[in-house]
Structure 1
Amino acid sequence: MSEQNPYVKLEVPEDASFEEIQSARDRLVERHPNDERARQEIEAAYDAILMDRLRKRQEGKITVPEGIRFAEKLAEKSSKTATLAKVPESPAWLQQTLDRPSVTEVLVSAGFFTTLGTIAVLNPGSNPNKPEDSLAFLVALGVGFTMYWLNRKEQRLGRAFLLTIGTLIFGGLLTVFLLQFVPPVGLPSTTLVTLAILFLFWLVSSFLR
C-alpha cells in the first residue's frame, strides 16, 4: 500500500473496527498537538476511511455501525430531536390568568365549597314548597369567598370582582340551559343551579388569578 492510503496513515488495518479507527485518530492527534498540518492529514485520512466504509456499506459489502453516518444525516436527526423536545410556551395572557395553587390551597377552597354544597342539598331551601333564601345566602357566601380568594393572589379587587360576577352569571345561565336537556335527578332545579355555581366558584378561585 502507498503512504497515501488512509488506513496506513492512521496505522490501522483495513478490517479495523470503528472504535479502533476512532482510537487511532485520537491517538495520532494527541501525538501532534502543535502540528496543524499533521492534524489536518490525520483528519483527512479519518474522513476518507469513513467515506470508504459508507461506500462499501452501500454496496452491501459491510455493515457500518450507527455511529458512522453522513454528517448531514446526523445533523438532521439532531434537529428533529430538538424540535420534538421543544415544548411551545403558553401565551403570556394565559400564563397571567392561570394559577398553580398548592395542594393546601386547593383543599381549603374545596372544603369550603363542599360544605356549602352539602348545606344546599340538606337545607330546607332545597324543598320547592319552602322559601329559597338559604340557597341565595349560600351563593352569596360563595361570591364573598371567591372574591377574597382571588384578590389575595394579586391584590386586584376589581379583577376579582369581575371574575366572580362573570362566573356567577355564566354558571346560572349555563345550568338553566343544560337543565332543559337533563332528566330529573331528585333535586329541585334551584338546588342544582346552586351546586353548579358553587363548583364553578371553586374552579375559578383555585385555578385563576
Structure 2
Amino acid sequence: MSELNPYELLGVKEDASFEEIQKAKKKLKDKYENNPQQLENIEVAYDAIIMQRLRLRQEGKIKVPEQIRFPEKTVEPKKVTVISNAQKKANISLWFNNLIDQPSGKEILINSSIFLVLIVISIFNNSSETLPLLLTVGVGTSFAVLYRKQRAFWRSVGITFITFIVGICLANVIFSLSLNTGFNLSLSAEQFASLFTFCLLWLVSNFTR
C-alpha cells in the first residue's frame, strides 16, 4: 500500500461514517477495476479502517454500528413460522382424510359378507373350539383387507392386532357392566366378545387406510 494512510487512500475523513467509507471504496473499485494492484491497496486500506474502528470500539472510544463489526457476515434473522389456527385445523383435517378410507360398495359388500358369516356362526355355535378359530379367520380377513390397500405389512399387522386386543378388552368390560346392571344379553361372554370384536375388525378394516 502507498505511504498515504487508509483514510487518505480512500479519500474520506477520519470521522467519516460507515456508509461514506463504503461508497468511497465502491467508487474507487469501479474506477480502478482494471488495476489489480490498486484494487488490492483499496481492500487493504478498507480492512485497516475497519480493524482500527473495531479496536476503538473494544476500547469504548467510539460506537460502531453492527454492520461495521462484521461487514462481510450480515446474518439474516431467523424466520419464525407461525402456524395459525386455520392452518392447524387444515393439517388435522388432512391427517384425518389420510387416515380414513372410502371403500367402494363392492369392497364393503365382500368384507361384510365374510364377517356376517362369522357372526352368524358365532351366535349359533358356542363351541369353545370354534370361537377361537372364527376369531382367527376374522383377524386374517382384517389383515388381508388392510394389506391390500397400501401393501404395508407391519402397519397392517399392527392395526389388526391393536383392534383385536381393544375389541376383546372392551367387550369384556361391556359384558361385565351389563351383568352388574341386570341386563341380559342372551349370549355367553365368549360369544359377545367374538361378536363385538368382529364388528370392530370390520369397521377398522373397511374404513382405515
Give the superposition deviation at 1:41. Answer: 0.8
Spell out the pairing of 1:118-157 with structure 2 (5 A cutoff).
Answer: 130=123, 142-151=142-151
Q: 1:195 to 1:62 in 2, by over 3 A?
A: farther
Q: 1:195 to 1:175 in 2, by over 3 A?
A: same
| Whole-Å separation in 2 of the counterparts to 1:44 and 1:63 | 22
CA RMSD of aligned residues (A): 4.9
- Give the structure 1 partner of residue 162 of structure 2: 171
Which stretches in structure 2 are left out of the alignment for 5+ residues?
79-93, 126-130, 179-191
Spell out the pairing of 1:1-209 with structure 2 (5 A cutoff).
Answer: 4-69=4-69, 74=73, 106=98, 109-112=100-103, 130=123, 142-151=142-151, 162-163=153-154, 166-167=157-158, 170-171=161-162, 174-175=165-166, 179=169, 184=174, 189-190=193-194, 191=196, 195=200, 199=204, 206=209
Once the two structures are superposed, what CA deviation does each residue of 1:106-164 show, in whole Å capped at 9, x if it has no partner?
A: 37x53349x97xx8xxx9x99xx94699988876664343232124xxxxxxxx5x447
Contact 1:10 1:24 in 2 (8 A): yes
Give the superposition deviation at 1:172. Answer: 5.4
- Work out the number of aligned pairs and report it: 157
Once the two structures are superposed, what CA deviation does each residue of 1:33-85 show, in whole Å capped at 9, x if it has no partner?
A: 1111111111110001001110111111222222223589x49x79xx8xxxx
Contact 1:10 1:21 in 2 (8 A): yes
| Whole-Å separation in 1 of the counterparts to 2:56 and 2:147 | 74
| Whole-Å separation in 2 of the counterparts to 1:164 and 1:52 | 65
| TM-score under structure 2 length normalisation | 0.51
Contact 1:167 1:201 in 2 (8 A): no
The alignment partner of 1:16 has SS state of coil
Contact 2:29 2:39 in 1 (8 A): yes
The alignment partner of 2:66 has SS state of coil
> Percent sequence identity over matched residues?
32
Give the superposition deviation at 1:202. Answer: 6.1
Q: 1:68 to 1:137 in 2, by over 3 A?
A: same
| Residue identity opposite 1:10 in structure 2 | L
Contact 2:139 2:164 in 1 (8 A): no
Contact 2:12 2:21 in 1 (8 A): yes
| Whole-Å separation in 2 of the counterparts to 1:50 and 1:164 | 62
- Give the structure 2 partner of residue 94 of structure 1: none
| TM-score under structure 1 length normalisation | 0.51
| Residue identity opposite 1:12 in structure 2 | V
Q: 1:48 to 1:175 in 2, by over 3 A?
A: same
